[in-house]
Chain A
């Protein structure tokens, strides 16, 4: 312990965070201007996004080089692990806000609008019957149909669950130092991830064009797209991270007992997987 203490790596100065702050600020200021109707807003947003990407390449690049150079002892590794775990916890709570909105709408606000428990609906929306799915008494967004659970969503569930298996197989291969199998299983995981995304995009397009189910379809459309949309964003991020890990494996990074980045991405992938199960049950099935 004390030896680990003496060797704790404290970098001496870093310029990436300030680049990140400038990038993030440019991104949101641009986007806010765009939302306020400015034409140049989107360009500024993209510029900000580019700066953030640059920061991520630079920052992660530095960390990867330091890791490969062996600067990080066991204690640093542990800090990274704790850090990643708490980051994933914060993501769980982010999704909790949207799941909370879904439960609240389904269990409380929609039944109340239909006159359950309280009778104010007689003044506001007399005669409206609460059902789920719904776009509310104002029928915001017009008539719509929902996406069935047992079509693409079921297939997507299978895809994500299998990708959880393949990433674990890749981890086992890494621990046994079987590099060929490692890369192959990672490739399979990445492929499953992107196939999921492809199907999800197809489903969205189908919902928008044929079912008239849009983000503007009352509270059903809002919760449906917010939950599946943020999940899809996280799958995209996860799939990109997996791709990078795969490229690093091809390059010969990681050893059987020193591969934090691999595990972090695997954890993230499992997290995305679990969120999907929640979505499949509460958004599609019930």
Chain B
């Protein structure tokens, strides 16, 4: 066993570009992930603007239907795999070692690789926009036989999904190993901050389901180029089989995008309520139950595909059961705030906004879980409204909350509180203007993924589009706030927030390059 020093050198990072390309440092890699996520958020957001512009009026105005479909497909792929997931992985990189008292991630070289696959994968995916036959337009779910009509972009789509999968799996393995093996003495599992807990479970989900996605798209590839008949009924296969395998990945994926958000909100609310989190252990058990249930609810995405009645019933009841642990969480957040000495700085605003609006998304999810009514809602704008409430006002709002909450720690500078609050209020107002009318559109029967619509849908679409443009513009304000905070501002204290608890607040702001070179003692 070596007692030699831990690092080749003890001064800070390398200079220039090589710092970022060759880095093994969890903070550098976290920063790369977060900036990449922000970039993809803007790219995917621009595509959403195209969608909303086209839907501002019935009829075809700006783009070809094929291109419109490419936009919905690419918007989803980019937001899911490029913005939300890397955003959370970036937070895990920055925070997990600091929260558990570790010097760095457990496997620092692999950490570098998990990030540096992403820019290549997304360059490849975006390059399909310029290929013969256009970018993939069959929806991000890649259902055969429709996806088989993709032009030259087809193999690029499949391989970019493979690369994203490799990246996610390596990132997830690293996070699990770090949490299991790198905790400071005394940091027992049930003392871990909830953000760490939720990421532990998320990482497990990632390792379990990303390979299944890889398998399913591999079968698409061989069906198209190597003569297999997995999804072709003439050969004894079944296109519905793809949907089952895909959603076996896809449903846990939904929780992969929300569990870390639960963790973030569970860190922020106690800080600004100046109370300990209500029901810590029930939060841990609720998270685990959600993760378990996520494996047995996948077919609620395909109620209308023609499943046996027993299947419809099983998946309906299993899905509704998820409301129980989720309800426990919402109850705990509210109870944490109950009789707390609350203040409403920007992170808290986003966290409270999360609790309220995520719950709206949760309720519309419950409606969708009821099989007989889902026959009405399936593939309408109601579904679009539902998953944007959980993903935008849920996942994205939690990412914003996290950025404001920890940015002073990361950069050493306070963000501009006035601008932060402005960002929150503009976002919250316009996101509701954007997505709330879509519920009504869906209930009235407007299908999703269609560039044109019947004239009775015009008003709600116009309201939604105006909300969309305003919400999109508001996010440029966020980019400006981040830029300004990195450049300077009022110096942050080590603790930053009066009520903040946890190891990351015992380090300086910004923290040293290698977080804890000697492990802190956790009582």
Q: Residues on A close to B: CB < 8 A?
A: 1-3, 5-18, 20-22, 24-25, 28-29, 31-32, 35-36, 59, 70-75, 78-80, 82-83, 86-87, 89-91, 93-98, 100-101, 104-105, 108-110, 112-113, 117-118, 124, 134-138, 140-141, 214-216, 218-223, 225-226
Contact = CB atoms under 8 A, between A and B. Distances in A.
Given A97-B216, A222-B228, A136 B233 contact: yes
- The 10 A-B pairs with the shortest beta carbon distances in the complex, nearest first, are A97-B215, A138-B234, A136-B236, A216-B227, A17-B113, A109-B238, A219-B236, A32-B155, A222-B228, A94-B211
Given A104-B244, A216-B228, A222-B229, A109 B237 contact: yes
Contacts of B18: 13
A29 to B, nearest CB: 7
A21 B113 contact: yes
Given A7-B2, A82-B180, A93 B163 contact: no
A47 to B, nearest CB: 15
Contact of B241 (A6, A17, A105, A118): A105
A83 B241 contact: no
Q: Classify chain B's interface size.
A: 35 or more
25 contacts: A9-B6, A11-B24, A15-B21, A17-B116, A21-B117, A24-B166, A28-B159, A70-B2, A74-B1, A79-B177, A79-B178, A82-B177, A86-B177, A90-B207, A90-B210, A91-B211, A95-B215, A101-B215, A105-B236, A136-B234, A137-B233, A140-B236, A215-B227, A219-B236, A226-B228
Given A12-B24, A219-B230, A35 B225 contact: yes
B152 interface: yes
B212 A93 contact: yes
A140 B229 contact: yes
B148 to A, nearest CB: 13
B517 A6 contact: yes
Interface string B142-179: 00000000001011100100110010010011101110
Contacts of B112: 14, 17-18
Contacts of A109: 233, 236-238, 240-241
User: Which of A10, A18, A74, A80 is the most central at the interface, judged by chain B CB atoms within 10 Å of its CB?
Assistant: A10
A71 B207 CA distance: 29
Interface in B204-251: 207-212, 214-216, 218-219, 222-223, 225-230, 232-238, 240-241, 244-245, 248
B454 interface: no
Contacts of A2: 185, 518-519
A28 B162 contact: yes
Interface string B244-274: 1100100000000000000000000000000
B107 A83 contact: yes
Given A35-B225, A135-B229, 10 more contacts: A6-B517, A11-B8, A21-B117, A28-B163, A70-B1, A71-B4, A75-B182, A93-B209, A109-B233, A221-B229
Contacts of A21: 113, 116-117, 120
B455 interface: no
B230 A8 contact: no
A11 B109 contact: yes
Contacts of B355: none
Contacts of B172: 86
A97 B245 contact: yes
B518 A12 contact: no
B499 to A, nearest CB: 29
Nearest to A86: B173
B184 interface: yes
A215 B159 contact: no
A62 to B, nearest CB: 8
A90 B7 contact: no
B335 interface: no
Contacts of A28: 124, 155, 159, 162-163
A59 B169 contact: no
Contact of B103 (A1, A8, A105, A140): A8
B152 A24 contact: no
Give the one of B110, B159, B230, B236 with max A CB within 10 A: B236
Contacts of A101: 215, 219, 230, 241, 245
A83 B173 contact: yes
B61 interface: no
B340 interface: no
B133 to A, nearest CB: 10
Interface string B329-373: 000000000000000000000000000000000000000000000
Contact of A94 (B156, B176, B214): B214
Contacts of B226: 215-216
B23 interface: yes
Among A79, A98, A110, A221, the one with the most B-chain Cβ atoms within 10 Å of its Cβ is: A79
A74 B107 CA distance: 14
Contact of B211 (A10, A97, A141): A97
B308 interface: yes
B6 A7 contact: yes
A112 to B, nearest CB: 8
Given A5-B184, A5-B518, A134 B159 contact: no
A61 to B, nearest CB: 13
B267 to A, nearest CB: 24
A100 B108 CA distance: 34
